[in-house]
Amino acid sequence: MKTIHTNHNLTDMYNHPDVALAIGFFDGLHLGHMSVINTMKEIAEEKELAKAVMTFDPHPSVVLNPEKKRTDYLTPLDEKRRLLEAIGIDYLFVVSFTSKFAQMAEEDFIRDYLTNNHVKEVVAGFDFTYGKFGKGNMMKLEADKQGFNVTAVAKQELNTAKIATTHIRNALIEGHVNEANAQLGRPYKISGLVVQGEKRGRTIGFPTANVAPDEAYVLPKLGVYAVTLKRTGSDQLLKGVCNIGYKPTFHDPAVSAVSIEVHIFDFAESIYGERVEVFWHEFIRPEQKFSGIDALIAQIKQDKESAEQLLADISLD
């Protein structure tokens, strides 16, 4: 997959064959987003066009609504890029969402980012908007199109609820991992590096991999989770129990940073410096402060047993 960062240097963007294009911010690449992208892929294959996705960076709220700006994501840009490449997208256009871009006239967006960009098919969600003040919508795009066809994908629902990034974010923040995963269509994932930690876990019989996210991910509710983990370059799925939080038994939350520590079952290798992916499956309990090491160890044993039961049906193949 070729990634093209526009930075509004549009001449560089145009160096590619005719494409079918899915447009949206696509944070999460959830089931609703995938309906748009899969529709684009079907049209591309039928019309023998390259498959392309256009997204924006940063989130438009950074420019349009600073008081409620979104700076953490379900799928930060690099994560989004990896997921799109894995499903066979040929081109990813990353449009810089700046104040200048936000003021662009609707007809200029159509001309510069669609018609001149060799776009022959445009696919987007029914609620996609563009141009200054977001006045352009899918009906107007159909009316004003220049050299391309337009397909609007209807609202996607799960159990009568709209599938939406906001719902998924809220579900994760509240610890409702199952609800978030159902709308994502897969377990929520955070990628990062295994870094040196305090190494306290190994002294109490539960060594952990301290995972430092490499992008600004939405963090689930603080607490203990049943998780799986993959190492870079390996398809092997490892099961574990994860604590995300401040470790209040040892630290003052007011002055400590959040850490993600995974105890991997039946695993003794050193993986410092490796990039890993942590998949979140089930919330077990909130983070809590214990009276001492013995109480902590007893609870960790219970958490491990709970995680083993919750992950029992997940295949390691």
Question: Do 30 and 122 sit in the same domain of this protein?
Answer: yes
Q: What does the alpha-carbon distance between residue 204 and residue 240 come to, in Å, rounded to a whole number? A: 16
Q: How many domains does the chain have?
A: 2
Question: Do 131 and 25 sit in the same domain of this protein?
Answer: yes
The whole-number average pLDDT for the span 42-59 is: 97
The per-residue pLDDT for range 190-244, each reduced to its tens digit, is: 999 999 866 555 655 678 899 999 999 999 999 999 999 999 888 889 999 999 9
For residues 30 and 69, the model is more confident at 30
Whichever domain contains 272, its CATH number is 2.40.30.30
Question: Do 149 and 293 sit in the same domain of this protein?
Answer: no
**Residue 118 belongs to what domain range?**
2-156
Residue 32 lies in a domain: yes
| Residue after which a domain boundary falls, among 117, 138, 156 | 156
The whole-number average pLDDT for the span 76-94 is: 97
Question: Do 126 and 238 sit in the same domain of this protein?
Answer: no
The end-to-end CA distance of the chain, in Å, is: 27
Pairing relation of β-strands 19-23 and 119-125?
parallel
Question: Do 6 and 140 sit in the same domain of this protein?
Answer: yes
Lowest mean pLDDT among 154-158, 166-170, 294-298: 294-298
pLDDT at 255: 46
Q: Are 94 and 5 in contact (CB under 8 A)?
A: yes
246 falls in which pLDDT band (50, 70, 90)? confident
Question: Do 112 and 199 sit in the same domain of this protein?
Answer: no
Residue 171 lies in a domain: no
Question: Do 150 and 8 sit in the same domain of this protein?
Answer: yes
Q: Report the SS3 class of residue 68.
A: helix
Whichever domain contains 110, its CATH number is 3.40.50.620
Question: Do 94 and 216 sit in the same domain of this protein?
Answer: no
Mean pLDDT of the chain: 91
